[in-house]
């Protein structure tokens, strides 16, 4: 096709669309010109996250387009399975430098650029179109709508907890079934992960340690216990989540993992375990250390979680072998230490952001339910109150580490034996978002 023919085609499509729009109708045809318009520098619908687990929250629509492009005059039109338009979202602002523009249902969505409750689209089946002054720019249909408003064959439906994304980003073959695939949600970031939710995987594994009596006494920091909601939220993002069991952490047990979560450990780490964890981080892995207050000795062996992370404090037990005295030595090898100055008498605090960071996207506060503060020897303090830090991060070698001061923040109210605990005041929405963001950042997905 010659350039003049191409331009005449665009002008004809625009004039027909504008004429229909002036009569009060949104154009429902024009698919043949959609990819041509996109190729001329127009944005495309790049990702849809319309069905979150439970009551929909945190859903979004992502566009991909030229950085700096104004979205004035653009709208999104949503259609039900019968092809009837049920929603219009008026866009505003410009596409950021990264090329992704995220229309979020609410403020819990990371990397959001515009908040509009209408971004919560119909589950199951439907269509979405991007319009410019009434002209169709791009369109996607998902599921099996009885009247499609997309391009070619419809893309798959996602099921709760997964997103529908163009892979590669911005690609358009005029067939939604070819261009889109189901994966973990990645608002404001590149697509390409594996199938999310429903047993799928981003290709990344998150391990929760269970070798250090994390379920001792009145604690139950297991992924089938008080951390079951946390594990489910991560699976909803597309991660594979499992536990490290036995009595020790080794390089073999960490093989293939992206993130290791250590929630309130009760037994010390040996020199060999510390070396394995340090090597894991240096080689690109992420470690999330979740501590608790001093004197949080659940199994009465003389070790509380701040000691397990920082090393023996010289108190009880009376004798500790040299292979265990340093324990993880997190303050030395990772630059983050659980403070020995915090005690059980600390009140409930509300930690708030003290800087800007991707982990803090959508996070305004988080409860610290009698925890310990973090000594930041190197790295960045992210959240705190009263002059104390309760969340800090650091980059070590090719990997990343994070430390949070209270194990309860990410827990729920159910024990692994089915009984109900005393943890009735968490998690809240901020804590759920915070927990997911920390793991995503450690896995280098945020």
pLDDT (tens digit per residue) in 212-249: 999 998 888 998 888 887 887 787 777 888 999 999 99
Given pLDDT bands bounded at 50, 70 and 90, which one contains residue 130?
very high
Tokens of 41: 């520098």
- The answer as to CATH 3.30.70.890 being correct for domain 205-442 is no
- The answer as to CATH 2.60.40.1260 being correct for domain 3-183 is yes
154-173 pLDDT, tens digit per residue, is: 888 877 788 899 888 888 88
- Quote the CA–CA distance of 392 and 290 in Å, as a whole number: 11
Peptide bond into 427 cis (omega under 30): yes
Q: How much is the pLDDT for 343?
A: 64
Q: Is the pLDDT of residue 410 over 60?
A: yes
CA–centroid distance for 214 within its chain: 24
52-61, 175-184, 278-287, 293-302 — most confident range: 278-287
- Quote the CA–CA distance of 115 and 186 in Å, as a whole number: 16
Q: How much is the pLDDT for 344?
A: 65
Pairing of strands 114-115, 100-104: parallel
- Quote the CA–CA distance of 344 and 410 in Å, as a whole number: 19
Tokens of 305: 């979680």
Given pLDDT bands bounded at 50, 70 and 90, which one contains residue 370?
confident
**Which of the two residues, 141 and 234, has the higher pLDDT score?**
141
| CB-based contact 346:306 (threshold 8 Å) | no
Sketch the domain layout of the chain as residue ranges: 3-183, 205-442
Instruction: Report the pLDDT averaged over residues 78-105.
Output: 95
Given pLDDT bands bounded at 50, 70 and 90, which one contains residue 6?
very low
- End-to-end C-alpha distance for the chain, whole angstroms: 42
This model's pTM is above 0.85: no
- Quote the CA–CA distance of 269 and 132 in Å, as a whole number: 60
For residue 62, give the nearest of 191, 156, 181, 148 by alpha carbon: 191
Instruction: Report the pLDDT averaged over residues 404-427.
Output: 72
């Amino acid at each position: 096709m010659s350039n003049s023919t191409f331009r005449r085609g665009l002008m004809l499509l625009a004039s027909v669309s504008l004429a229909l729009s002036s009569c009060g109708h949104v154009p429902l045809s024009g698919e043949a010109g959609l990819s041509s318009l996109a190729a001329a520098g127009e944005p495309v619908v790049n990702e849809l996250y319309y069905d979150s687990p439970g009551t929909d929250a945190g859903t979004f629509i992502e566009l991909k387009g030229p950085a700096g492009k104004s979205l004035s005059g653009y709208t999104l039109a949503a259609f039900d399975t019968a092809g009837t338009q049920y929603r219009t979202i008026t866009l505003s602002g410009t596409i950021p430098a990264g090329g992704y523009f995220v229309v979020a249902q609410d403020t819990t969505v990371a990397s959001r650029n515009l908040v509009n409750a209408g971004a919560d689209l119909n589950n199951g089946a439907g269509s979405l179109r991007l319009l410019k002054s009434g002209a169709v720019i791009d369109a996607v249909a998902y599921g099996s709508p009885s009247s499609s408003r997309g391009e070619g064959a419809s893309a798959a439906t996602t099921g709760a907890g997964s997103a529908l994304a163009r892979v590669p980003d911005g690609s358009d073959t005029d067939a939604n079934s070819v261009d889109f695939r189901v994966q973990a949600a990645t608002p404001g970031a590149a697509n390409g992960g594996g199938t999310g939710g429903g047993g799928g995987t981003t290709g990344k594994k998150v391990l929760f340690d269970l070798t250090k009596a994390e379920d001792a006494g009145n604690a139950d920091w297991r992924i089938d216990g008080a951390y079951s909601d946390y594990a489910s939220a991560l699976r909803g993002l597309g991660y594979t989540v499992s536990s490290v069991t036995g009595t020790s952490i080794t390089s073999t047990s960490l093989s293939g993992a992206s993130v290791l979560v250590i929630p309130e450990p009760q037994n010390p780490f040996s020199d060999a375990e510390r070396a394995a964890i340090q090597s894991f981080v240096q080689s690109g892995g992420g470690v999330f250390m979740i501590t608790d207050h001093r004197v949080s000795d659940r199994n009465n062996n003389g070790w509380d979680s701040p000691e397990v992370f920082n090393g023996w404090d010289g108190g009880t037990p009376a004798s500790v072998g040299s292979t265990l005295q340093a324990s993880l030595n997190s303050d030395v090898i990772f630059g983050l230490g659980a403070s020995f100055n915090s005690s059980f008498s600390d009140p409930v605090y509300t930690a708030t952001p003290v800087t800007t960071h991707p982990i803090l996207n959508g996070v305004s506060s988080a409860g610290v339910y009698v925890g310990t503060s973090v000594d930041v020897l190197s790295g960045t303090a992210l959240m705190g109150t009263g002059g104390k830090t309760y969340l800090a991060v650091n980059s070590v070698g090719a990997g990343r580490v994070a430390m949070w001061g209270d194990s309860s923040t990410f827990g729920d109210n159910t024990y692994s034996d089915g009984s109900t605990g005393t943890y009735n005041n968490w998690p809240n929405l901020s804590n759920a978002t915070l927990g997911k963001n920390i793991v995503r950042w450690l896995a280098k997905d945020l």
